[in-house]
Amino acid sequence: MTCDNVIKANIIKGHLNNEGIEAFTTNENFSNLMPHYNRILNSGVQIMILDTDYDKASEILKLNVKEEQVCPNCQSKNIKFSLGKNKFRKIFVIIFSLLTTTPFNNLKSVYKCKDCQTEF
């Protein structure tokens, strides 16, 4: 599992250790020193466990349960994943970053309701 920050990773690691699953974290220093590279090429703080403990850990953390998104405004389940209001600006930043080989920071994606157009 990969987390965006060290605090969240250590909370999850502690939870797994309390349940009897030996876990350790990697990539903490790089994630702290270069936070703009998080979410690029799956970088971030990684939580490592044994293959034999995977089923138990995924049950504890409920990794296989996909939460169905619901619009907070109209309670619709007709939801799509979007870049948000500044879509063209974000696409320009991504293209510029790729051309200049610089990180493009954390561009957050949002969910958008197809019925009432609410972003959340």
Phi, psi (rounded to 5 degrees) for 37: -85, -5
pTM for the full predicted model:
0.54
Average pLDDT in the 95-118 region? Answer: 77
Q: How far apart are CA 61 and CA 80, in angstroms?
A: 25
Portion of the chain with pLDDT greater than 90, in percent: 20
Give residue-wise pLDDT tens across range 20-62: 999 999 988 888 777 766 666 667 888 999 999 998 998 888 8
> Which sign does the torsion angle of CA 86, 89, 93, 95 carry?
positive
Quote the Cα angle for 31-32-35, to 5°.
65
pLDDT given for residue 32 in this prediction: 78
For 19, 109, 112, 117, the CA distances from 79, given in Å and listed in that order, are 35, 13, 6, 9
Rounded mean pLDDT of the chain? Answer: 81
Q: What percent of the chain has pLDDT over 70?
A: 83
Give 89's pLDDT tier (boundaries 50, 70, 90).
Answer: confident
For 1-120, list the strands marked E by DSSP.
Answer: 2-3, 23-26, 45-49, 79-82, 110-113
